Structure 1
Amino acid sequence: MPKPVAAAHDPSLAATVVRRTPLLYAAGPDPALDRPAHVRAGSGLAWFGGRLAVVQDDAAFVALTDPRGERVEAVTLPAGEGGARQFDDLRGNKRFKLDLEACTVVPGDEGELLVAFGSGSTPLREQVVLLADGPRGPRVSVHDASAVYALLRECTEFAGSELNVEGALFVDGRIRLFNRGNGAPRGDLLPVDATCELEWVALRAHLLDTAVAPPRPRGVVRYDLGAMDGFKLTFTDAAWFDGRIVFSAAAEDSPDVTRDGVVAGSALGVFDAP
């Protein structure tokens, strides 16, 4: 395996917060659907049909917000255990969440398709959500992808000691996944930050019919993103920007991929080439 690609600090780059917008659902809260009044998390973001789609790791809703964030529509996903659609430590039901951590948009003859990925950190989190925007509104389907995640986990060059998918991009007919290396060591395996690619046509065929063989991960690249205050920086998302790939990373003292830890800080970075 080649040496990891090492990130370098570029003092000429800077990030500035230019606006903050509360993301409140236009329809308000709905106790019957277990929907809160607001978007709870922004685990993955992608432009979808002229709106910004927001997937959440702790709520079974996809938020669709207009470019200025002035109107937010909630797309309801299937409920979890006991009809819950919100998951946290206070409720004691985090183990039942889909844990959607990454999303990307795929173009097609019938329009765009939002593809959202579970983290794969537990068996319940090995599902992929497909969202199509039709004339009667968004159409949602949730697909078992356990065979796909099994191949990702088996590819230890990508997954390392623990699989934790945190980013996804559509690149020339392939889905590029980003693994976050914040897991616990397992034997001789260490947590790694890495990317791999899955052929989209094969992945879609498998999601629609699990009798079709899933695609194997290809083109693995590992990364060393550096550290902040003594904690390793690890991938948390990625997006296209001006023809290049921008990624976000967090320095979190997490004991493994399912438990949270103290966050020392975060960083943004740019890949020089796709």
Structure 2
Amino acid sequence: MNDTTVSMIQAKRDPTLKAIVQKRIPLFYSQGADATSDRPAHVRAGSSLSWLGDKLALIQDDANFLVFIDPESLTIEAITLAAGEAGARQFDDLRGNKRFKLDLEACTTVPTPSGDLFLAFGSGSTTQREQILMVQASNPSNPELKQASALYAQLRACTSFSGSELNIEGAIFRDGQLRLFNRGNGKPNNNRVPVNATVDLDWNSFSAYLDTPEHHQPPALQNVCQYDLGKLHELSLSFTDAIATQKGIIFSAAAEDSPDVTSDGRVTGSVLGILDANPRWIELRAPDGSLFTGKVEGVCAFRNEENRSWIVIDADDPMLPCELCEIEFIAA
């Protein structure tokens, strides 16, 4: 699509919503650490999650391991992804290799004639981070990474979606469309400002491109929408994930003082919200009513319990496990 001006949609705080963190579970691999594959004992930086079969599939932005969580037994299995620079599968400032990470930040599960397909997207915040992870439900131990530079170039060039810096942080599949969410936490660049935005891709066209990106053009970008999510404790909110549910699209957003899309910053809290005809959100709180200040990176609805959701939070510390949290999320 041509880069054109689009309308800005306001999402406001709605005190009739409720989002309470009921349980926090630090995530450790059931197999323990494995030095030969550069795997630590803990799940480092969970960035998005989606159902694949009866397991929660969780991706990490700075470790090359796909994680499967059994929510009943809390068994946590690691699927090893390809090694990166110098054989590493962990990437951070302590090692000085953060620039080489896959930066998988968004995932979704798509029903297909051959079974469910799990997709995880690199953020695109640098040209190193333009790969898409594919996992078939019928063969989850055989993940495949596809280079998708042409798609990311198209997303970056559409500045009504990407704003000043591209940073894909959410993905959903709904009604034959794949929707991507850009996180507006970048720095101003070339007279452009960061934007929270969504864009739709026709699934059939996207699937053909993903199968053979060397022979197909990426699908046309459709229906770009920008969002003003407001502020939480003086910091602007920006998308961190989304999930399609029967209630509508539930999104997570964090208030983070990050200087650009590749750097972490101070977090004052996170929110859950709904994108429908009346976009709205509420901040997460602890059971005692105090503000929950964790950084929500991923969200996934419970099955068969409409007022329960999972979130994953990340302390942005490679030495600490990320946490899976059970949330009571009630929308009027």
By relative contact order (CA 8 Å, sep 6+), the higher-ranking structure is: 2
Task: Indicate the residue corresponding to 2:45 in structure 1.
Answer: 41
- Count the aligned residue pairs: 273
Q: TM-score, normalised by structure 1?
A: 0.96
TM-score by length of 2: 0.79
- The superposition leaves residues 6-53 of structure 1 with CA deviations (integer Å, 9 ceiling, x where unpaired) of 011111111111222232212111100011112112201101111101
**Aligned-partner Cα distance in 1 for 2:128–2:210:** 16
Runs of 4+ in 1 over 4 A off after TM superposition: none
Task: Quote the residue 1:30 is aligned against.
Answer: 34
Aligned residue for 1:184?
A: 187
**Hey, what does 1:70 align to over in structure 2?**
74
Q: Write the distance in 1 (CA, Å) between the matches of 2:143 and 2:159.
A: 32
1:257 partner letter: V
Shift of 1:229: 2.1
In the TM superposition, residue 233 of structure 1 has moved relative to its aligned partner by: 0.4
In the alignment, does 2:140 pair up with 1:131? no
The residue that corresponds to 1:146 in the other structure is 149
* Cα distance per residue 1:41-76 (max 9 Å; x no partner): 220110111110101101111111112352011111
Question: In the TM superposition, what is the alpha-carbon distance from 1:133 to its structure 2 partner?
Answer: 2.5
RMSD: 1.4
Match of 1:92 in 2: 96
Higher strand share: 2
Q: Distance in 2 between matches of 1:69 and 1:54?
A: 16
Would you say the 8 A contact 2:205–2:219 is kept in 1?
Answer: yes
Residue aligning to 2:107: 103
Corresponding residue of 2:169: 166
Give, in whole Å, the separation in 1 of the partners of 2:96 and 2:76: 28
Q: Please report how far the alpha carbon of residue 243 of structure 1 lies from its aligned counterpart in structure 2 after TM superposition.
A: 3.3
Amino acid corresponding to residue 149 of structure 2 in structure 1: S
- Name the counterpart of 1:209: 212
Counterpart Cα distance in 1 of 2:12 and 2:159 = 25
| Secondary structure, counterpart of 2:143 in structure 1 | strand
Contact 1:4 1:222 in 2 (8 A): yes
CA distance in 1: counterparts of 2:220 and 2:157, whole angstroms: 10
CA contact 2:173–2:244 (8 Å) conserved in 1: no
Q: Percent identity?
A: 55
Query: Partners in 2 of 1:55 and 1:134 — Cα distance?
Result: 18
